[in-house]
Structure 1
Protein backbone atom coordinates (compact mmCIF):
# COMPACT_ATOMS: atom_id res chain seq x y z
CA UNK A 1 0.00 0.00 0.00
CA UNK A 2 1.28 3.42 -0.96
CA UNK A 3 0.66 6.09 1.68
CA UNK A 4 0.78 9.75 0.65
CA UNK A 5 0.20 13.07 2.37
CA UNK A 6 -1.67 15.72 0.39
CA UNK A 7 -2.89 19.19 1.27
CA UNK A 8 -6.07 20.89 0.05
CA UNK A 9 -5.69 21.61 -3.66
CA UNK A 10 -3.07 18.91 -4.20
CA UNK A 11 -3.75 15.76 -6.16
CA UNK A 12 -2.38 12.42 -7.30
CA UNK A 13 -2.52 10.89 -10.78
CA UNK A 14 -3.28 7.19 -11.30
CA UNK A 15 -2.37 5.43 -14.54
CA UNK A 16 -2.05 8.72 -16.46
CA UNK A 17 -5.89 8.86 -16.61
CA UNK A 18 -7.31 9.38 -13.14
CA UNK A 19 -6.77 12.43 -10.96
CA UNK A 20 -7.72 12.34 -7.28
CA UNK A 21 -7.71 15.81 -5.73
CA UNK A 22 -8.14 16.87 -2.10
CA UNK A 23 -10.90 19.48 -2.21
CA UNK A 24 -11.57 20.13 1.47
CA UNK A 25 -10.73 18.92 4.97
CA UNK A 26 -13.26 19.79 7.68
CA UNK A 27 -13.65 18.18 11.13
CA UNK A 28 -11.54 15.17 10.16
CA UNK A 29 -13.50 14.51 6.95
CA UNK A 30 -11.77 14.71 3.60
CA UNK A 31 -13.67 15.66 0.45
CA UNK A 32 -12.07 14.18 -2.66
CA UNK A 33 -12.67 15.00 -6.29
CA UNK A 34 -12.07 12.25 -8.84
CA UNK A 35 -11.56 13.06 -12.50
CA UNK A 36 -11.63 9.88 -14.58
CA UNK A 37 -12.75 8.77 -18.04
CA UNK A 38 -16.38 7.67 -18.31
CA UNK A 39 -15.33 4.03 -18.85
CA UNK A 40 -13.81 3.90 -15.34
CA UNK A 41 -16.27 2.66 -12.71
CA UNK A 42 -15.90 4.30 -9.31
CA UNK A 43 -17.60 3.08 -6.12
CA UNK A 44 -17.12 3.68 -2.42
CA UNK A 45 -15.56 0.50 -1.01
CA UNK A 46 -18.60 -0.44 1.09
CA UNK A 47 -20.84 -0.18 -2.00
CA UNK A 48 -18.36 -2.17 -4.09
CA UNK A 49 -18.26 -4.91 -1.42
CA UNK A 50 -22.08 -5.08 -1.40
CA UNK A 51 -22.25 -5.35 -5.20
CA UNK A 52 -19.58 -8.07 -5.20
CA UNK A 53 -21.38 -10.04 -2.46
CA UNK A 54 -24.75 -9.81 -4.24
CA UNK A 55 -23.17 -10.93 -7.52
CA UNK A 56 -21.56 -13.88 -5.75
CA UNK A 57 -24.90 -14.88 -4.18
CA UNK A 58 -26.62 -14.65 -7.55
CA UNK A 59 -24.02 -16.90 -9.18
CA UNK A 60 -24.20 -19.56 -6.45
CA UNK A 61 -27.35 -21.29 -7.69
CA UNK A 62 -27.37 -25.01 -7.01
CA UNK A 63 -28.02 -27.51 -9.79
CA UNK A 64 -31.11 -28.65 -7.84
CA UNK A 65 -32.53 -25.12 -7.88
CA UNK A 66 -31.58 -24.70 -11.51
CA UNK A 67 -33.37 -27.93 -12.50
CA UNK A 68 -36.59 -26.64 -10.89
CA UNK A 69 -36.84 -23.94 -13.53
CA UNK A 70 -39.46 -24.85 -16.12
CA UNK A 71 -39.78 -23.75 -19.69
CA UNK A 72 -37.40 -21.75 -21.85
CA UNK A 73 -35.73 -18.72 -20.37
CA UNK A 74 -36.47 -15.51 -22.21
Structure 2
Protein backbone atom coordinates (compact mmCIF):
# COMPACT_ATOMS: atom_id res chain seq x y z
CA UNK A 1 0.00 0.00 0.00
CA UNK A 2 1.29 3.43 -0.92
CA UNK A 3 0.80 5.94 1.91
CA UNK A 4 0.90 9.65 1.09
CA UNK A 5 0.55 12.80 3.16
CA UNK A 6 -1.49 15.63 1.69
CA UNK A 7 -2.66 18.96 3.04
CA UNK A 8 -6.07 20.48 2.44
CA UNK A 9 -6.59 21.41 -1.24
CA UNK A 10 -3.77 19.10 -2.39
CA UNK A 11 -4.40 16.23 -4.81
CA UNK A 12 -3.08 12.91 -5.96
CA UNK A 13 -3.49 11.51 -9.47
CA UNK A 14 -4.33 7.85 -10.07
CA UNK A 15 -3.57 6.68 -13.58
CA UNK A 16 -4.21 9.33 -16.20
CA UNK A 17 -7.74 10.33 -15.32
CA UNK A 18 -8.58 10.00 -11.61
CA UNK A 19 -7.92 12.95 -9.28
CA UNK A 20 -8.40 12.66 -5.51
CA UNK A 21 -8.33 15.99 -3.65
CA UNK A 22 -8.34 16.60 0.11
CA UNK A 23 -11.29 18.97 0.48
CA UNK A 24 -11.42 19.31 4.27
CA UNK A 25 -9.85 17.91 7.44
CA UNK A 26 -11.70 18.12 10.76
CA UNK A 27 -10.34 16.12 13.67
CA UNK A 28 -10.08 12.51 12.57
CA UNK A 29 -12.36 12.98 9.53
CA UNK A 30 -11.13 13.76 6.03
CA UNK A 31 -13.38 14.85 3.15
CA UNK A 32 -12.18 13.84 -0.29
CA UNK A 33 -13.25 15.06 -3.71
CA UNK A 34 -12.92 12.48 -6.46
CA UNK A 35 -12.95 13.28 -10.16
CA UNK A 36 -13.16 10.23 -12.41
CA UNK A 37 -14.44 9.40 -15.90
CA UNK A 38 -17.96 7.95 -16.26
CA UNK A 39 -16.78 4.37 -16.75
CA UNK A 40 -15.18 4.31 -13.28
CA UNK A 41 -17.56 3.78 -10.37
CA UNK A 42 -16.70 5.45 -7.07
CA UNK A 43 -18.10 3.93 -3.85
CA UNK A 44 -17.48 4.04 -0.12
CA UNK A 45 -16.06 0.67 1.02
CA UNK A 46 -19.24 -0.41 2.85
CA UNK A 47 -21.34 0.33 -0.24
CA UNK A 48 -18.91 -1.55 -2.48
CA UNK A 49 -19.05 -4.56 -0.15
CA UNK A 50 -22.88 -4.48 -0.14
CA UNK A 51 -22.94 -4.33 -3.95
CA UNK A 52 -20.49 -7.25 -4.20
CA UNK A 53 -22.60 -9.28 -1.78
CA UNK A 54 -25.75 -8.57 -3.79
CA UNK A 55 -24.00 -9.51 -7.03
CA UNK A 56 -23.07 -12.84 -5.48
CA UNK A 57 -26.74 -13.47 -4.76
CA UNK A 58 -27.70 -12.18 -8.24
CA UNK A 59 -30.03 -9.44 -7.04
CA UNK A 60 -29.08 -6.33 -9.05
CA UNK A 61 -32.27 -4.40 -8.24
CA UNK A 62 -31.61 -4.54 -4.50
CA UNK A 63 -27.98 -3.48 -5.01
CA UNK A 64 -28.99 -0.34 -6.90
CA UNK A 65 -31.67 0.49 -4.34
CA UNK A 66 -29.26 0.05 -1.41
CA UNK A 67 -26.67 2.30 -3.02
CA UNK A 68 -29.24 5.01 -3.75
CA UNK A 69 -30.81 4.87 -0.28
CA UNK A 70 -27.48 5.11 1.54
CA UNK A 71 -26.21 7.92 -0.65
CA UNK A 72 -22.68 6.56 -0.73
CA UNK A 73 -22.24 5.73 -4.38
CA UNK A 74 -21.53 8.11 -7.19
CA UNK A 75 -21.34 7.34 -10.87
CA UNK A 76 -19.29 10.18 -12.25
CA UNK A 77 -20.69 12.15 -15.18
CA UNK A 78 -18.43 13.05 -18.05
CA UNK A 79 -17.03 16.57 -17.78
CA UNK A 80 -17.64 18.81 -20.77
CA UNK A 81 -13.88 19.00 -21.23
CA UNK A 82 -11.59 16.34 -19.69
CA UNK A 83 -9.30 19.05 -18.30
CA UNK A 84 -12.12 21.01 -16.64
CA UNK A 85 -11.80 20.97 -12.84
CA UNK A 86 -14.75 19.61 -10.83
CA UNK A 87 -17.47 22.06 -9.79
CA UNK A 88 -16.28 24.49 -7.16
CA UNK A 89 -12.62 23.92 -7.99
CA UNK A 90 -10.37 26.46 -9.67
CA UNK A 91 -8.18 25.76 -12.71
CA UNK A 92 -5.48 24.29 -10.45
CA UNK A 93 -7.87 21.59 -9.21
CA UNK A 94 -8.15 23.11 -5.74
CA UNK A 95 -11.00 24.76 -3.88
CA UNK A 96 -10.81 28.53 -3.51
CA UNK A 97 -9.94 29.62 0.03
Bin of the TM-score, shorter chain as denominator length = 0.7 to 0.9
TM-score, normalization: structure 2? 0.57
Question: Partner of 1:49: helix, strand, or coil?
Answer: helix
Gaps of at least 5 residues in structure 2 are: 60-97
Structure 2 counterpart of 1:32: 32
User: What is the CA deviation profile of residues 29-72 of structure 1, one whole-angstrom value per residue up to 9, with x for unaligned ones?
Assistant: 1000001111111111110001101111228xxxxxxxxxxxxx
- Please, what TM-score do these two structures have when normalized by structure 1? 0.74
Does structure 1 residue 4 correspond to structure 2 residue 27?
Answer: no
Distance between the aligned counterparts of 2:25 and 2:54, measured in 1?
33
Matched residue count: 59
- The structure showing larger relative contact order (alpha-carbon pairs under 8 Å, at least 6 residues apart) is 2
Mapped to 2, the partners of 1:27 and 1:9 lie a distance apart of 16
Structure of higher CA gyration radius = 1
Tell me which stretches of 4 or more aligned residues in structure 1 moved more than 2 Å: none
